[in-house]
Structure 1
Amino acid sequence: MLTNSLSNFVYKFYDENPISGLSLSIVNDKILKTCTNTENLLNQKGEGYFSLLNGLIGSVEYLSKFNFCKEILVITPSLVLKDSESYTEILKILKSNNIKVNIISLCGELMIFKIITESTGGSLYVPLDLDHFNNILGNFAIPGELKSSTINLIKLGFPKVIYENGICACHLKMNKCGYECPFCKTYICTVPIGCPICENQLVSSLNISKSFHHMYPLKPYIDGEGVCFCCGNKGNSRCEKCMNIYCNDCNCFVHENLNFCLTCDN
């Protein structure tokens, strides 16, 4: 049951965060192991003692080399932690690297879980049932509004479409059309993706637009009357910037799917 929820979370995360990255790890018998294949991770069983400290240390070592927004999501059914050392040092490192830690504890709340999440600006959840667990995961898949004033530049590439047969470097499969990496000319079959050769992030303008409007969400429309700009039906809401009218259906589509106003200049 939980494996299906986690599999759906991975799919939704990449759908909602096209230019973000997701690394999956598991702690078995106090040892952190990173999995590159989602299916391999979900098919593994928890064994031995759980070490939250080792899990956090390994995650920090991986995340500290990146400059963008970083979060750790811990999902655990364990109420017993086998950590002989203090969490004081790892908390200092988490804060200095601006890494937020969120914890979903399936069996109950521990004081150390609460201390870690509150100290790093994260959240602690104890799901009541499977539906509640799915709702919590769904919220983590959707990026939050950008509140930091710090700006980091990320190198991106916009590959052009090429209509020719070729074997993609990402899946090693034959395709009738694909994309060409602007940096190393590698043939790939899909975007967004990290180029398998030069490792630069390759995206489309739609991916950038979707990520941008998640960070700066569209404000709710105010009440208004008139004819809907999109479909011509009776409208009941108005954009504060461009003052155009939208009906309820088009309003929902703009805010839930597009995340930007169709008639605003910006």
Structure 2
Amino acid sequence: MSDSDGSYNEASSPESEEVSQLRSSSSGGGMNTRSTRRSNAELRSTTGGGYIWEDSIQRPWDIVQEDEGGSLATAIADLVQSNKRKRLFYEQTPLQRGIIRHLILVLDLSSAMADKDMRPSRYQLSLQYAVQFVNEYFEQNPISQLGVIGMKDGIAHLISQLGGNPAEHITAIQALRKDEPAGVPSLQNALEMARGALYHVPSHGTKEVVIIFGALLSCDPGDIHKTILTLKTERIRVRVVGLAAQVAVCKELCKQTNDGDFLSTYGVILNEQHFKELLLSACTPPASTKTEKSAKGKSASELMRMGFPSRIVETTPSFCACHTRLLKGGYLCPRCNVKVCSLPTECPACGLTLILSTHLARSYHHLMPLRNWYEVEWPEAKRSKASSCFGCHKPFAPVPPTISSSGSSTKIRISTTSSGSTATVSHQDKSTATHTSAAGPTGSTGRFRCPTCHRQFCIDCDLFAHEVLHNCPGCEATSPVSRRQNASSSSKAAAAAAPAFTTAPVQV
């Protein structure tokens, strides 16, 4: 066995004693034998057999355990429930963010994307997730713009120009399915093209670049570090999703363009689900940095013109100005009366941004996020009169008869620190929390309560309210007078229980 495999525990092999004897006889000394035996004994006490790097690996059959009936349904349900409960650590602190975003999506179309370590291949899966990213991006940022660039054969290709119509970007990305990945990527050419597309962005908009990078090299015509410094000077943020391994130039790129923060902007995927999570996390607008705040404070205030067109229904079809298609309906630009077929978009005649009032209202949920809901424990669930979810009317799990209604419920309060979101559990009766975890099959009631209206919801409605609706159905169903009273009482209770959050001013 070579020296590089010295961390292997030879005691686990049936031929270890013979190998040790052969080594001792060939070496001609007893010191080597004693040192080998001593190192093997140390490895037995530390690793328990096998390679050292194997200790961090958990086999899936060790994680997922069967129940008494030999079924995996309970284990799978617990895994699904644990994935849903990750929402408890979502960011809820109000931050200063730019909701008018200008983002360039860079796709790696090189030969490295032909690998089949992800099904059906890196190339096809990246295009599939890129389409989902475009839909989610405009769903959360309806008044923003997006463009797509591809890296192939050492040059950068413009796939779709910067615009606010998601249908055009999706059509351009889906047209790439017919092509095959080839050549090598060029990060410098892609960054220079993205910088040119974002050069005329006004000061009130953010400039961002998201790169899906599957290769381990970059064929650049010049010094890419000069390009990185130019991006830093022009305040263009770069985010990289790596498909193979961490690349030093990508790490330096994210570190320089994000004020030294590369941990949250550069990630290497673990599997397909992690790839989707890293990519879709770029849909949330980034928080404004101190450099951007000072630059915006020095620059003069600018106003952005927007048009809110009215929908028309025609008896005879007419052509739209955006796609030249015959339609019997559409929207008329309030400035030049040009017909467009869908919103949000820019008027092809006068360049006015055309949106609906709902698009503008939906963009503010990033600035004022919905508060996280508390998890209801078993004693509180027994005292409560709610037997079904307020949102979907799905019945809750019955309370076990061994649960006592006396005792205080455990509340999970989400707080944000510089390192990320942490959960602080505050309770008055520790025995109640211990008894609660032992009572239920998984220790969770599956109930979540809004701190404002005190309505109880299931975990699916909790996810829908925080990820899609961004409003509490219980608060919206309450009258405005009682809503203000509940909000004032909740704010007083929160101020008495914990220190108030320091909120930054809202920047639009």
Aligned match for 1:218, one of 356, 370, 375 = 370
- The 5 A counterparts of 1:253-264 are 253-260=464-471, 262=476
**1:232-251 per-position Cα deviation (integer Å, ceiling 9, x unaligned):** 99996344xxx433321565
Aligned match for 1:147, one of 271, 275, 288 = 288
| 1:103 has 2:244 as partner | no
Of 56-65 and 246-255, deviating more is 246-255
Secondary structure (helix, strand or coil) at the match of 1:176 reads strand
Q: Any unmatched runs of 5+ in structure 2?
A: 1-123, 161-171, 377-383, 397-446, 488-508
- The whole-number CA distance in structure 2 between the counterparts of 1:229 and 1:107 is 45
In the superposition, the TM-score normalised over structure 1's length comes to 0.84
Post-superposition offset of 1:207: 0.8
Aligned match for 1:48, one of 183, 188, 192 = 183
- The whole-number CA distance in structure 2 between the counterparts of 1:132 and 1:170 is 37
Aligned to 2:109: none
Give the 3 Å change call, closer, same or farther, for CA 106–253 of structure 1 in structure 2. closer
Secondary structure (helix, strand or coil) at the match of 1:125 reads strand
| Counterpart contact for 1:25–1:41, Cα < 8 Å | no
Post-superposition offset of 1:110: 1.2
| Counterpart contact for 1:159–1:180, Cα < 8 Å | yes
Q: What amino acid is the match of 1:143?
A: T
| 1:18 has 2:18 as partner | no
| Counterpart contact for 1:143–1:215, Cα < 8 Å | no
Aligned to 2:192: 57
Greater fraction of residues in helix: 2
Q: What amino acid is the match of 2:130?
A: L
| Counterpart contact for 1:144–1:215, Cα < 8 Å | no
- The 5 A counterparts of 1:155-194 are 155-164=305-314, 165=316, 166-194=318-346
Aligned match for 1:124, one of 257, 266, 271 = 266
- The whole-number CA distance in structure 2 between the counterparts of 1:223 and 1:75 is 37
Of 81-90 and 54-63, deviating more is 81-90
Give the 3 Å change call, closer, same or farther, for CA 96–152 of structure 1 in structure 2. farther
Post-superposition offset of 1:23: 0.6
Aligned to 2:224: 87
Aligned to 2:4: none
| Counterpart contact for 1:25–1:34, Cα < 8 Å | yes
Secondary structure (helix, strand or coil) at the match of 2:212 reads strand
Give the 3 Å change call, closer, same or farther, for CA 26–117 of structure 1 in structure 2. same
Give the 3 Å change call, closer, same or farther, for CA 131–180 of structure 1 in structure 2. same
**1:69-101 per-position Cα deviation (integer Å, ceiling 9, x unaligned):** 111111122212222532332122211221111
Aligned to 2:347: 195
| Counterpart contact for 1:145–1:217, Cα < 8 Å | no
- The whole-number CA distance in structure 2 between the counterparts of 1:110 and 1:205 is 43
Give the 3 Å change call, closer, same or farther, for CA 214–44 of structure 1 in structure 2. farther
Secondary structure (helix, strand or coil) at the match of 2:321 reads coil
- The whole-number CA distance in structure 2 between the counterparts of 1:183 and 1:90 is 40
| 1:69 has 2:210 as partner | no
- The whole-number CA distance in structure 2 between the counterparts of 1:170 and 1:84 is 37
Q: What amino acid is the match of 2:270?
A: L
Aligned to 2:456: 247
Q: What amino acid is the match of 1:125?
A: G
Greater fraction of residues in strand: 1
Secondary structure (helix, strand or coil) at the match of 2:181 reads coil
- The whole-number CA distance in structure 1 between the counterparts of 2:464 and 2:456 is 10
**1:200-259 per-position Cα deviation (integer Å, ceiling 9, x unaligned):** 2211111111111124322224579788998999996344xxx43332156554433232
| Counterpart contact for 1:156–1:200, Cα < 8 Å | yes
Secondary structure (helix, strand or coil) at the match of 2:256 reads helix
Secondary structure (helix, strand or coil) at the match of 2:222 reads coil
Q: What amino acid is the match of 2:467?
A: E
Secondary structure (helix, strand or coil) at the match of 2:270 reads coil
**1:37-77 per-position Cα deviation (integer Å, ceiling 9, x unaligned):** 22334444333332111111111111121131111111122
Of 102-111 and 84-93, deviating more is 84-93
| Counterpart contact for 1:229–1:244, Cα < 8 Å | no
Structure number with bigger Rg: 2
Aligned to 1:38: 173
Give the 3 Å change call, closer, same or farther, for CA 125–197 of structure 1 in structure 2. same
Aligned match for 1:237, one of 449, 465, 488 = 449
| Counterpart contact for 1:52–1:83, Cα < 8 Å | yes
In the superposition, the TM-score normalised over structure 2's length comes to 0.46
| Counterpart contact for 2:306–2:355, Cα < 8 Å | yes
Q: What amino acid is the match of 2:336?
A: C
Give the 3 Å change call, closer, same or farther, for CA 205–78 of structure 1 in structure 2. same
| Counterpart contact for 2:448–2:462, Cα < 8 Å | no
| Counterpart contact for 1:29–1:50, Cα < 8 Å | yes
Q: What amino acid is the match of 2:241?
A: I
CA RMSD of aligned residues (A): 3.0
Secondary structure (helix, strand or coil) at the match of 1:101 reads strand
Q: Any unmatched runs of 5+ in structure 1?
A: none
- The whole-number CA distance in structure 2 between the counterparts of 1:5 and 1:212 is 25
Q: What amino acid is the match of 1:246?
A: R
Secondary structure (helix, strand or coil) at the match of 2:156 reads strand
